[in-house]
Amino acid sequence: MSAYGQKQTSQTLLDLQLKPGQRPSSPKSEEALKDIYFENLHDVFYLIFHESDSAFEALQEMEEQRLDAIENFQLPSPWKDFLQAEIKLQWAFLKLKYGEEWNAFWSLKSANKSIEENLEAYPSFKLNNRTRGLLNILFGVTPDNYQWVFKLFGMRGTVRDGIKQLTETRDTNSVFGLESNIILGMIYSHLLEETEKAPEFIAQHQLSNSSLAQYFQGIILQKSHQAEKARELWLSSANNVPFSAYLIGESYFQEGNYNESLNYFQQFLSEFDGLTYHKDALLKIALAYKFLGNSSAFANKLEEARASKANTSEIDKNAQKTIDNLENINFEMLKLRYVIDGGFFKNAVTLLSDLEQSSLNKLQLVELTYRKARMAHIQNQPRAVELYKKVIAEADMIEESYFAPNAFLQLGYLQREKGNLDMAKMYFERVLTFKKHPYKASLDSKANVALSLLDLGGD
Q: What is the CATH number of the domain that holds 255?
A: 1.25.40
Q: What is the pLDDT of residue 239?
A: 66
Q: Do 351 and 427 fall within a single domain?
A: yes
* Residues 12-26 pLDDT 10s: 999 999 999 999 999
- Together in a domain, 351 and 450: yes
**pLDDT tens, 359-370?**
899 999 999 999
pLDDT at 456: 44
- Report which of 8, 21, 11, 1 is spatially closest to residue 211, judged by C-alpha positions: 11
Percent of the chain predicted with pLDDT > 90: 82
Q: Residues 388, 260: one domain?
A: yes
What is the pLDDT, as a whole number, of residue 2? 45
pLDDT at residue 242, rounded to an integer: 87
Separation between Cα atoms, residue 392 and residue 408, nearest integer Å = 7
351 & 435 share domain? yes
Distance CA 286, CA 276 (A): 17
In the chain, the number of structural domains is 3
Same domain, 137 and 44: yes
457 pLDDT more than 70: no
For 295, 363, 381, 421, the CA distances from 384, given in Å and listed in that order, are: 36, 19, 5, 18
Mean pLDDT for the stretch of residues 191-220: 96
The amino acid at residue 429 is E
Q: Are residues 396 and 271 in the same domain?
A: yes
Contacts of 365 (CB under 8 A, 6+ apart): none
Please choose, from the candidates 253, 249, 197, 205, the residue with its C-alpha nearest in 3D space to the C-alpha of residue 221: 197
5: pLDDT confidence band, cut at 50, 70 and 90? very low
pLDDT mean across residues, the chain: 93
- Are the C-beta atoms of 6 and 203 separated by less than 8 Å? no
Domain that holds residue 217: 174-240
Give the model confidence (pLDDT) of 82-131 as tens digits. Answer: 999 999 999 999 999 999 999 999 999 999 999 999 999 999 999 999 99
- Residues 38 and 86 reside in one and the same domain: yes
pLDDT 10s digits, 242-258: 899 999 999 999 999 99
Ramachandran bin of 100, using left for φ above 0, alpha for ψ from -120 to 50, beta for the remaining angles? beta
Inter-residue contact 411 to 388 (CB < 8 Å): yes
Residue that terminates a domain, selected from 169, 186, 211: 169
- Specify whether 90 is located in the same domain as 130: yes
Query: With bands split at pLDDT 50, 70 and 90, how would you rate the model's confidence at 279?
Result: very high
Domain boundary among 124, 147, 169: 169
| pLDDT (mean) for 422-427 | 97
Nearest to 15 by CA among 28, 3, 24: 3
pLDDT at 133 over 90: yes
What is the per-residue pLDDT for 455?
62
Looking at the structure, do residues 295 and 433 belong to the same domain, yes or no?
yes
- DSSP characters for 152-184? HTT----HHHHHHHHHTT--SSSHHHHHHHHHH
Residues 94, 2 share a domain: yes
Confidence of residue 238 (pLDDT cuts 50, 70, 90): low
- Where residue 172 falls among pLDDT bands split at 50, 70, 90? confident
pLDDT at 153: 73
Residues 218 and 321 in one domain: no
pLDDT band per the 50, 70, 90 thresholds, residue 400:
confident
Q: Read off the pLDDT of each residue in 397-412 and give the average, rounded to a whole number.
A: 92
Same domain assignment for residues 178 and 35: no
Contact 173, 159 (CB under 8 A): no
| Boundary of a domain, candidates 169, 194, 211 | 169
